[in-house]
Amino acid sequence: MKTILIVDDHADIRRLIRMTLEFEDYDIREAADGETALRMAQEQRPDLVLLDVMMPGPVNGLEVCRRLRADVPAGQGPRVIMLSARGQASDREAGLQAGADIYLVKPFSPLQLIDCIAELWAPA
């Protein structure tokens, strides 16, 4: 069973994402801020992190992604889908430069999210 960590400071968004994914065979965990997300990622080693970019506190989504990528060889850390209301080309570029596999702009449909996850785990 694959583990997915949902990181968003809005509980309603975490709940909607959980509802979208609960019909699949995933172990779903949640974090409300960047610091908690980093701790949980260290302890639980998720296969995928669904990561909001804009969160309160000293550690935003871009920084979480950078830290997740910092100490692991390429391809060995969790996959990362960044979720953001910021959809400018520069925002997308910043997310991908931080190490995101996919940058998905809010609002997105549940089907879009499911398709992105399937794309990440599809055989090459």
Q: pTM of the full predicted structure?
A: 0.94
Query: What pLDDT band is residue 123 in, cutting at 50, 70 and 90?
Result: confident
Q: Count Cβ neighbours within 10 Å for each residue of 39-67 and write b for 16 or more, e otherwise.
A: ebbeeeebbbbbbbbebeeebbbbbbbeb
Q: What is the pLDDT of residues 68-85, one digit of tens each?
A: 998 777 677 899 999 999
Among candidates 25, 10, 83, 91, which has minimal Cα distance to 49? 83
Q: What is the pLDDT of residues 35-76, one digit of tens each?
A: 999 999 999 999 999 999 999 889 999 999 999 998 777 677
Domains and CATH numbers, the chain: 2-121 (3.40.50.2300)
Burial of 101 (0-12, 13-18, 19+ CB in 10 A): middle
